[in-house]
Structure 1
Amino acid sequence: MKHESLAEIRQVADIFSLGRDVPRLSHRERLERWAAVLDQHEGQVVPLVRIEDYAPRERDNLRGDKTPLSVAFSDPILRADGLLSDRLGDAVGFFGLGHAEAHRLLCDCHYRGTMTAPKVAARLRAIARGGIMQRIWDWTTRRVAAG
């Protein structure tokens, strides 16, 4: 790892301070910020593979380049607000997602080769709104999980 001074970094990057008095983002603002970052993302996004096949500890450590998680972690505002990494477990905690929501949002079995940043952003906005369809989905997944 190459260490550079702040002056050296300023030559190649836009650096800004959020200051100490910046209020933390709400749950909904975090999700909407992630959606907005995905909308601005011009590259490919790829899903995580077979999330449901991993034990909880392994699942929490899942990450990948070009995933919606790495796009979120590239945003300085989300990092400044407390997003610790692009690992699934950190994102689930930071964005307040349930594991079923994270699975629906990020797993390859829900896209089958069709994941795009706008599709993920739309799903994030639906979660943020917490509309009737989201409540039905949450209720259904809880019932299925309960057996």
Structure 2
Amino acid sequence: MQHQTLEHLKAVAEVHPDPTRPVLTRSERLERWAELLERRPERRLATLHGTEYQGGGARETMRASGSPITVAFEDPGLRAEGLKDDSYGEAKRFFELSDWQLHEVVCYCHFGETVTGARAARHVRAAMKPRSGILARLRAIIG
């Protein structure tokens, strides 16, 4: 019998997650992402330019090699949970984030060209907490 990595098997076969294993909740997925980012707190991660200015279709396909989203996608556990790639739209879907929440984690306008893993992790954790106040309500309405 020959040993094969999960990545190799995914390339040559359709791999299904264990249906008896519990699926991670939104909070658990976000916490896992934050933990991955904190493993290398000083790592400089690429940001995405102008997420707030892109149309829906263009924004959904945005990506940057070495971004905070890439860190999540590199994790076999999150891929097994259903994270399909390291695009903006996939991160938004998988982590159940609004555009504003994801914008706060990955957009160039907040950090410049790069953001540290530790700072991105703080913003991921902030997305886990419900916001209150007038701005939060307006963002919820605008989406």
Please tell me the TM-score bracket, short chain as reference.
Answer: 0.7 to 0.9
Structure 1 residue ranges, 4+ long, deviating more than 3 angstroms after superposition: none
Q: Which has the higher strand share?
A: 2
Partner Cα separation in structure 1 for residue 113 and residue 84 of structure 2: 28
- Residue 58 (structure 1) aligns with: 58
Corresponding residue SS for 1:141: helix
Corresponding residue SS for 2:94: helix
- Could you tell me the TM-score, scaled by structure 2's length? 0.79
Identity %: 31
- Residue 28 (structure 1) aligns with: 27
- Could you tell me the TM-score, scaled by structure 1's length? 0.77
Contact 1:41-1:71 at 8 Å conserved across structures: no
Partner Cα separation in structure 2 for residue 37 and residue 108 of structure 1: 21
Aligned length: 131
Corresponding residue SS for 1:89: helix
Unaligned 5+ segments in structure 1 are 1-5, 11-17
- Residue 84 (structure 1) aligns with: 84
Contact 1:50-1:109 at 8 Å conserved across structures: yes
Corresponding residue SS for 1:45: strand
The aligned amino acid for 1:7 is H
Deviation at 1:115, TM superposition (A): 1.5
1:1-147 residue pairs with structure 2 within 5 A? Answer: 7=3, 9=5, 19-41=18-40, 43-113=43-113, 115-130=115-130, 134-136=131-133, 137-142=135-140, 145=142
Deviation at 1:113, TM superposition (A): 4.7
Partner Cα separation in structure 2 for residue 9 and residue 27 of structure 1: 27
Deviation at 1:21, TM superposition (A): 2.1
Partner Cα separation in structure 1 for residue 5 and residue 127 of structure 2: 36
Cα distance 1:27–1:76, how it changes in 2: closer, same or farther (>3 A)? same
- Residue 14 (structure 2) aligns with: none
Deviation at 1:142, TM superposition (A): 4.1
Partner Cα separation in structure 1 for residue 93 and residue 115 of structure 2: 23
Partner Cα separation in structure 2 for residue 119 and residue 47 of structure 1: 12
